[in-house]
Amino acid sequence: MKVLVIGASRGIGLEFARQYLAEGAQVIATARDDEGLQRLKGLGAKALRVDVAQPTSISGLAWLLDGEEIDIALYVAGVFPHGDALAPPTREAFDHAMHTNVLGAMQAIPQVAPLVEAVRGGGGRFAFISSAMAKMDGVDSSRGWVYRASKAALNMVVASAQHDYPKAIMVALSPGWVQTDMGGSGAPLTTVQSVTAMRAALAGLTPEHKGAFLNYDGVPFKSW
């Protein structure tokens, strides 16, 4: 099995790489700096330098992959700008979130989805790490409103792009509230728990899940 993890230098992405390598998969993983690349090489992954927030960097991903067939592709890269609706976001914070969380995914899809579709026998999966904070129902505050907006946009990107790649199963996947730099130490899930559950959810995907927004346990959210 061949796995691609986009944004794997730490946290959830690094744990995906670690777990898939542990079960014998070939893992290609991206990072944007030397420290992240060395960390991935130390695990045994094929490490590629890609900065998803820089269009000129991610635009060369297909060239770096060189026609690989990808059984499971994961877009994990993401940023969380703080702030709420009591003050407007800065243009810099908004642009950085949208470039990383949305535009990077939109640039990756035309390069990676054909490689997922090319898997022999079909059934390749392309998952994008979203967030329960992107749900439209049950919104309890404006905390992280730029992040919420970017992840809601990502969900639409996945749902719409699915139609152009019918041989792949594409989903947006919430990891839950996880103990990462973004989630904080008080989160109820460890990265190991979250990634283990998401890997099981990915393994259980069927064509009925195409374009769906799922929780880390594989259960679809009732509403966006």
Whether 220 is covered by a domain: the verdict is no
CB count, 10 Å around CB of 29?
A: 31
DSSP string, 134-172: G-SSS----TTHHHHHHHHHHHHHHHHHGGG-TTSEEEE
Whether 14 is covered by a domain: the verdict is yes
For the chain, what is the domain count?
1
199-219: buried (b, 16+ CB within 10 Å) or exposed (e) per residue?
bebbeebeeebbbbbbbbebe
Whether 223 is covered by a domain: the verdict is no
Per the confidence metrics, is the pTM higher than 0.85? yes
CATH of the domain at 111: 3.40.50.720
Whether 164 is covered by a domain: the verdict is yes
Span 118-133, pLDDT tens digits: 998 878 999 999 999 9
Cα 210-215-221 angle, rounded to 5 deg: 70
Strand order in the sheet with 2-6: 46-49, 26-31, 2-6, 72-75, 125-129, 169-173, 213-214
Whether 151 has a pLDDT exceeding 70, the answer reads yes
Which structural domain range is residue 133 located in? 2-214
Q: Which residue has the higher pLDDT, 136 or 39?
A: 39
Span 95-119, pLDDT tens digits: 999 999 999 999 999 999 999 999 9
